């Protein structure tokens, strides 16, 4: 029963994020532009390592999962 709740919550979260990315892209313009994100561009290519952005997303997902699994 708990896995059903977790799967439904994850699906709704993915759907919500997809709708935000499609219809309100200005809400996610912060991704990749935080201090600590590495973006190296040259004439030969680009290296992008979003360290700080991934830490923020990891923290948010941890909070959401803990709230969903709390009894």
- DSSP string for 1-65: -HHHHHHHHHHHHHHHHHHHHHH-GGGGTTTT-STT-EEEE-SS-EEEE-HHHHHHHHHHHHHHH
pLDDT at 4: 80
pLDDT at 2: 65
**DSSP 8-state secondary structure symbol assigned to residue 70:** -
Give the residue numbers spanning the domain of 30.
2-69
Per-residue pLDDT tens listing for the chain (71 residues): 567 887 888 888 889 888 887 887 777 777 778 898 998 999 999 999 989 988 988 998 899 888 877 76
Nearest 5 degrees, angle CA 14-CA 17-CA 18?
Answer: 85
Pairwise CA distance, residues 56 & 63, whole Å: 11
Q: How many domains does the chain have?
A: 1
CA R_g for the chain: 16
pTM of the model: 0.60
């Amino acid at each position: 029963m708990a896995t059903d709740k977790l799967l439904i919550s994850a699906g709704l979260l993915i759907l919500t994020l997809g709708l935000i990315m499609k219809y309100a892209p200005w809400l996610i313009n912060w991704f990749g532009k935080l201090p600590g994100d590495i973006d190296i561009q040259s004439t030969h290519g680009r290296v992008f390592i979003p360290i700080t952005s991934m830490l923020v997303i990891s923290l948010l997902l941890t909070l959401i999962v803990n709230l969903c699994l709390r009894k």
